[in-house]
Amino acid sequence: ASPPEMPRTALIKSFHQMFRLVRNLEYMQESASSEGITPQIIPMDLDALCRQTVSGAYSLLQKAGVTLEYESVSNGLIIPGDPELLQRLLLGLISNSALAAREGRTVLTLRRQGERALLTLSDSGPLPSPQQLAALFQQGTAEEIPLPGQGAGLGLSIARHIVSLHRGSMLVEWGQSAPSTVISLPTGPLPSRVA
């Protein structure tokens, strides 16, 4: 007997998960190489990048039942950054937040606080279990194989690395609801190259 046919939506989801895993493995391999990853820091508009990223992901997440929103207190926020790496960071964090929200709401917020740009990503997902919180802050062992739908656990490591390359910091806040991820990036000094 032949194996049962996989539904189209499950096939598409599996393909996207495999594609993301391959991209994450490539990133990890490049960052571990002797050259490492060198960010191409330019003056860039973080607000415009957030709007573009949310706009691109909105319809895909809406089909999955997740509402993605973007809130900013200003139009335009110029920072020194690598747009490609920061977009990768945003997409990874939005993806993780959407998985946690299930059929709920994910909100990306950008604001300026002094000499820092603060990105906050929150969702309407449930409060994580103690085991999930422990996994959030610890690297797994080689023997731990993630279950289907759990991911490989590379996304957070890559996010931390990208934030570090931008001289930023990343923390997770939680209270009575799902945790929020907060990214703090410097707004200066700006390099002299303009793109």
With a pLDDT cut of 90, the percent of the chain lying above it is: 36
144 DSSP β-pair partners = none
Q: What is the pLDDT of residue 142?
A: 39
Query: What are the pLDDT digits (tens) for 86-121?
Result: 999 998 898 888 887 778 899 999 999 999 999 999
- For the cut 80, the answer to whether the pLDDT of residue 148 exceeds it is no
| pLDDT, average across residues 166-182 | 85
* Helix/strand/coil for 70: strand
- Cα separation, 172 vs 159, whole angstroms: 12
Burial of residue 73 (CB within 10 Å: 0-12, 13-18, 19+) is exposed
Higher pLDDT: 57 or 74? It is 57
- For the cut 60, the answer to whether the pLDDT of residue 14 exceeds it is no
* Helix/strand/coil for 10: helix
Q: What is the pLDDT of residue 28?
A: 73
- For the cut 70, the answer to whether the pLDDT of residue 4 exceeds it is no
Q: What is the pLDDT of residue 120?
A: 95
Confidence of residue 146 (pLDDT cuts 50, 70, 90): very low
- Cα separation, 59 vs 155, whole angstroms: 22
Q: What is the pLDDT of residue 136?
A: 57
Least confident of 33-47, 132-146, 179-193: 132-146
- Cα separation, 84 vs 157, whole angstroms: 17
Least confident of 34-38, 69-73, 121-125, 189-193: 189-193
Range 159-162, long-range pairs (CB < 8 A, 24+ positions) = 159/89, 159/92, 159/93, 161/31, 161/37, 162/85, 162/86, 162/88, 162/89
Q: What is the pLDDT of residue 145?
A: 36
Q: What is the pLDDT of residue 61?
A: 86
Mean pLDDT of the chain: 79
Question: CB-side exposure of 111: number of CA atoms within 13 Å?
Answer: 8
| pLDDT, average across residues 156-171 | 91
Q: What is the pLDDT of residue 149?
A: 45
Residue in 24, 23, 87, 76 with CA at minimum distance from that of residue 53: 87
